[in-house]
Amino acid sequence: MTQAPPPPAGGLSQGALLVVIAMLIGLFTGLAAGVLAVLLHATVLDAAKWAGGTFIAVTMLLFKIRELLR
């Protein structure tokens, strides 16, 4: 009976690192959108919507780019 070859060394940790980087970039751009909304005198609810929407959009875009580069 043959066994499957072992996974390449560092493959899992590199993928986890890319996920963390994508989440951090999404978080920082979301925070920037929230700050911009406050500076433009938007309501707190609008600032939260802008920050959340930007976070989701940027994070999903980075995940899609990562998927296409595989």
The model carries a pTM of 0.64
Find the Cα–Cα–Cα–Cα dihedral 14, 18, 19, 21, rounded to 10°: 130
Are 64 and 28 a contacting pair, CB within 8 Å?
no
In this predicted structure, the answer to whether residue 11 has a pLDDT above a threshold of 70 is no
Mean pLDDT of 27-46: 86
Are 39 and 53 a contacting pair, CB within 8 Å?
no
Q: Tell me, what's the pLDDT at 10?
A: 55
Mean pLDDT of 22-35: 85
pLDDT band at 19 (very low <50, low <70, confident <90, very high): confident
Q: Mean pLDDT lowest for which of 5-9, 54-58, 66-70? A: 5-9
